[in-house]
């Protein structure tokens, strides 16, 4: 632990009670967590299988596990659990399904499945345009651990009453489908831990030390889960930064950090303020902006990287000139500094801001990548195969059934499906199971009934081959061959090349199934159902394309940039109504927007450029803008303004121009 600074060292050694590590941006928090895991195992004698570390993304969990593995080798690392909150919840559901009112082969609904189910429910209420609103409200209820009856009792408006009513129907349908949604992976285990003493004792015996990363992003349910896991022993370390809490829209509560001090009066607070990423000037700007937010915990980031270059603020005439300026500045800087395109990131508040910039980058032949593109799992061909596999492990998954019953076409029309759905509802059984019932023949035609029976029989045989056979992957490939899926892709794709790309995606997916199957070490978990369920969860957690490490400028929203760093960062659109966003101005939630500004600033390692446009198009009309209030909160003596009066003399401007010309001459010999 020689290369840890004093505060990091203190955080690693503090193990006897509750600890809150206030970890500023770039302060080496992952090092603290992984070193602490090694210290607990190697120096304190805590068995690895009694240690649990949780975070929010698969990528963060993977990095944490890999770094811990380099410090703790062999048998002493066996059983160490590093996972996301949702994977932990899934593990609990999988090991004790009956505790949660589930059968073994339950399904996990992703966002699209939830939307489809709510669409069906709201269609009956003639309110199908409110799907996303109701879905967000239901997610909020779950994050607050409110059951439908409690949501109804708290309802104050007509919208609240309506959402609570739909919530009750939605939960009833999930139970009928033997399914959980993404929020349930936290909510159901948490409620069970609260109410089931035996389950709570089991998990408290399992977890002797808990480490929680990104604690500022926990919601009410996750906070309760942590409390129930640590119990009276209270041996845990929470690591987080309230200044980087930017996910209130999905339930995150930065006040959970302050609540720790209330619930655990003996809480030890350790601040990590040394930043290993950015120059002192960039950190001075970040500290100045975030100081305008109220704080329970005060901190000041500092660095030993020197002052660095001034922060540039560039005023542009329009969004077109802003995009052109950003693109040409990146190209010029790259040529003069001999850097790589991957060293540059352009951050913005909303995805729409990238459209004009993309055009300018293409004109200058600058390669770029937009983060947050379509998920691998969101591709239609992958969702098709996933739906088949979901139905294989859970015959009661009606959403999966409806997706694949006519993919490829089986001449089973919407009228037949409507009658099948009505019959299944009347019989209180799943649609797939209803296909086999003789009584269905009274509701649908003989030919349609025959096709449904044939499909149900084929899927039953296929499921048996996949789940009980010796080679599940071969059975999955046979399934795709049976339905002539490759021919279906050729028929449904605009070109043969597009069909080939889609089939490559399917083959890549099958390779993922094989890799997961090969990696299963625990014989108890060595079944294809567990592998498929893990893939469903990966779909939910990742929701992003595979990482692209090629040499491209990175374009992304400020939200997507959290956790990343780049040598050279440009932040676009520093205007009122953009950053801070109009919604936050109207609702009085400027503090979160300021935290977003802070996150953007602290992504930069060497240079930071801020741009804004004096006019921007709204509804096709060019309107004057107001520079963001956050620009005024930056330390004026650390800024270089361009595009407005700089206060430089003619001689100073001429000297700057000559220096720039000299640099270009040197560059091109």
Residues assigned a catalytic role: 29-30, 213-214, 244, 603
Prior bond to 408 cis, omega within 30? yes
Count of other CB atoms within 10 angstroms of residue 232: 5
Whose tokens are 């939960």? That residue is: 171
Residue 302 exposed, middle or buried by CB count within 10 Å (0-12, 13-18, 19+): middle
Contacts of residue 435, defined as CB under 8 A and 6 or more positions apart, other chains included, come to 420, 452, 453, 455, 456
Under 8 Å between Cβ of 596 and 558:
yes
Helix (H), strand (E) counts: the chain: 29, 17
> In terms of Cα–Cα distance, which of 526, 628, 615 is closest to 582?
628
1: its two tokens: 């632990």
- DSSP reduced 3-state for 219: coil
Contacts 24+ apart (CB under 8 A), 40-43: 40/15, 40/209, 41/72, 41/76, 41/77, 41/80, 42/72, 42/76
Q: How far is CA 337 from the centre of its chain?
A: 34
DSSP code per residue over 631-660: HHTS-GGGEEEESS-----HHHHHHHHHHH
Q: Of 381, 377, 374, which is closest to residue 503 (Cα–Cα)? A: 381
Crossing angle of helices 319-337 and 354-363, in 10° steps, is 50
User: What is the DSSP-derived secondary structure letter of residue 267?
Assistant: P
User: Are residues 228 and 254 in contact, defined by beta-carbon separation less than 8 angstroms?
Assistant: no
Look at residues 535, 497, 485 and name the one whose alpha carbon lies nearest to residue 514: 535
The structure tokens listed for 187 are 């909510």
Report the C-alpha gap between 660 and 581 in whole angstroms: 36
Using DSSP, state whether 468 is helix, strand or coil.
Answer: helix
DSSP-assigned beta bridge partners for residue 616: 623
For 184, phi then psi, to 5°, come to: -60, -25
Rounded CA-CA distance 593/625 in Å is: 18
CA–CA dist 46, 44 (Å, integer) = 6
Tell me if 386 sits within 8 A of 407, measured CB to CB: no
Q: Which two tokens stand for residue 284?
A: 């001075």
What is the greatest pairwise CA distance in the chain?
Answer: 94
Could you tell me if 99 and 196 are in contact, meaning their C-beta atoms sit under 8 angstroms apart?
A: yes
Rg (CA), the chain: 28
Could you tell me which residues are beta bridge partners of residue 211?
53, 237
Residue with tokens 């305008």: 292
What tokens does 183 get? 């929020």
């Amino acid at each position: 632990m020689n290369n840890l600074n004093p505060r990091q060292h203190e955080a690693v050694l503090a193990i006897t009670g509750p600890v809150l590590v206030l970890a500023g941006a770039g302060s080496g928090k992952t090092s603290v967590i992984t070193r602490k895991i090694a210290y607990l195992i190697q120096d304190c004698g805590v068995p690895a299988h009694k240690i649990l570390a949780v975070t929010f993304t698969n990528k963060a969990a993977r990095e944490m596990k890999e770094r811990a593995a380099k410090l703790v080798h062999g048998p002493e690392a066996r059983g160490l659990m590093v996972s996301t909150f949702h994977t932990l919840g899934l593990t609990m559901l999988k090991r004790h399904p009956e505790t949660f009112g589930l059968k073994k082969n339950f399904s996990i609904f992703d966002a699209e499945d939830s939307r489809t189910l709510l669409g069906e429910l709201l269609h009956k209420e003639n309110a199908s345009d409110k799907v996303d609103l109701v879905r967000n409200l239901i997610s909020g209820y779950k994050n607050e651990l409110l059951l439908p009856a409690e949501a109804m009792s708290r309802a104050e408006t007509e919208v609240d009453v309506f959402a609570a009513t739909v919530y009750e129907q939605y939960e009833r349908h999930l139970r009928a489908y033997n399914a959980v949604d993404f929020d349930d992976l936290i909510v159901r285990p948490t409620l069970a831990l609260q109410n089931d003493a035996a389950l709570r004792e089991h998990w408290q015996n399992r977890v002797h030390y808990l480490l929680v990363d990104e604690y500022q992003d926990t919601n009410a349910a996750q906070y309760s889960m942590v409390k129930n896991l640590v119990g009276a022993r209270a041996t845990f370390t929470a690591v987080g930064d309230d200044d980087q809490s930017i996910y209130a829209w999905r339930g995150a509560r930065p006040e959970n950090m302050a609540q720790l001090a209330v619930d655990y009066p003996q809480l030890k607070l350790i601040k990590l303020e040394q930043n290993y990423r950015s120059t002192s000037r960039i950190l001075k700007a970040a500290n100045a902006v975030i100081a305008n937010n109220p704080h329970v915990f005060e901190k000041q980031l500092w660095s030993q990287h020197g002052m660095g270059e001034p922060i540039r603020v560039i005023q542009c005439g329009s969004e077109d000139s802003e995009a052109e300026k950003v693109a040409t500045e990146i190209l010029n800087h790259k040529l003069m500094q001999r850097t790589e395109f991957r060293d540059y990131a352009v951050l913005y508040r909303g995805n729409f801001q990238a459209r004009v910039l993309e055009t300018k980058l293409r004109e200058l032949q600058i390669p770029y990548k937009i983060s947050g593109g379509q998920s691998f799992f969101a591709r239609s061909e992958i969702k098709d195969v996933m739906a088949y596999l979901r139905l294989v492990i859970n015959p009661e998954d009606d959403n999966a059934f409806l997706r694949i019953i006519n993919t490829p076409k089986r001449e089973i029309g919407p009228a037949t499906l409507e009658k099948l759905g009505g019959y299944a509802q009347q019989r209180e059984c799943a649609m797939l199971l209803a296909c086999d019932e003789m009584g269905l023949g009274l509701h649908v035609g003989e030919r349609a009934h025959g096709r449904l029976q044939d499909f149900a029989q084929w899927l039953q045989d296929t499921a048996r081959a996949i789940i009980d056979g010796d080679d599940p992957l071969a059975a999955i490939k046979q399934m795709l061959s049976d339905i002539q899926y490759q021919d279906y892709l050729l028929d449904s794709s605009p070109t043969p090349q597009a069909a080939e790309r889609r089939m490559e995606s399917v083959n890549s997916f099958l390779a993922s199934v094989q890799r997961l199957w090969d990696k299963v070490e625990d014989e108890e978990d060595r079944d294809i159902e567990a592998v498929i369920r893990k893939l469903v969860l990966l779909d939910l957690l990742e929701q992003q394309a595979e990482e692209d490490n090629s040499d491209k400028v990175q374009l992304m929203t400020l939200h997507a940039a959290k956790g990343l760093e780049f040598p050279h960062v440009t932040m676009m659109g520093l205007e009122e109504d953009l950053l801070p966003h109009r919604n936050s101005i109207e609702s009085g939630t400027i503090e979160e927007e300021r935290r977003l500004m802070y996150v953007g600033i602290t992504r930069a390692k060497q240079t930071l450029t801020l741009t804004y446009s004096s006019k921007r198009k709204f509804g096709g009309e060019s309107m004057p803008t107001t520079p963001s209030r956050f620009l005024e909160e930056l330390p004026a003596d650390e800024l270089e303004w361009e595009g407005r009066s700089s206060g430089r003399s003619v001689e100073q401007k001429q000297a700057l121009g000559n220096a720039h010309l000299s640099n270009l001459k040197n560059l091109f010999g």
